[in-house]
Structure 1
Amino acid sequence: MARSLDGLVLAPVADQAPGQVGTRTRFTYHEQDGEVWAEYSGGDVVRGHLVGTREGDRLDFRYVQLKGDGTTSSGHCVSTVVELPDGRVRLEESWEWESQAGSGTSVVEQVTADEH
């Protein structure tokens, strides 16, 4: 199993559709006893939260976010935790909106301190 996500900051490697998370979004993860949660913001997202569980290298969580235009949205995501050769963490994600139509995949990777 890859190391704990607690305290790690991750960012998408590519932009999603407008109004969603993108390369300027930063996720600060927390993990304890099989629970995972994070706060995120940046780009079009003013404030976002996710909460869920981790079993081995699988995360299963719900997310909710407030966008710059004042709208909110929520969804469900399942991620696989991968440890990269350089020791950083990558999450390979499959997500689906629950508050609107749409689904897809994304990749977020741990950023270094100078990229926060």
Structure 2
Amino acid sequence: MDIYRDINLAVHFISRSTKVSRRLIQVLIRIHNKKIIKLSYEVKRAICKCYTIMIPSITCYSRVSHETDGYYLMRVCGVCGEISKMRMGAKKRFYNGGEEETNKEREKGVKVFKT
């Protein structure tokens, strides 16, 4: 079973019939839950809990919000109204009261001191 073919079919059908598109995604998630296939991280983020593909300005709307710990992409589903919040840049992560370097900082050679 080709995962990306099914996702492309679901995107194709979303303009014609949302029921068909949602059914394709629902079957894809069921197969994923039975450990037959593994969905990539990007595919998981593009699917809402109501089995709708999150396509900006078609099935959802998005905005960028700035909070104290960084920038976030906020997406609101047009079908069920669920808000998904995704981090947009790697900043420092806090573990057990101290700071640890992220992968981007490790590649650049940025020093992060324990506080």
Give TM-score scaled by structure 1 length.
0.26
Give TM-score scaled by structure 2 length.
0.26
| Greater fraction of residues in helix | 2
| Greater fraction of residues in strand | 1
Query: Computing the radius of gyration over CA atoms, which structure comes out larger, 1 or 2?
Result: 2
With CA pairs under 8 Å and 6+ residues apart, which has the higher RCO, 1 or 2? Answer: 1
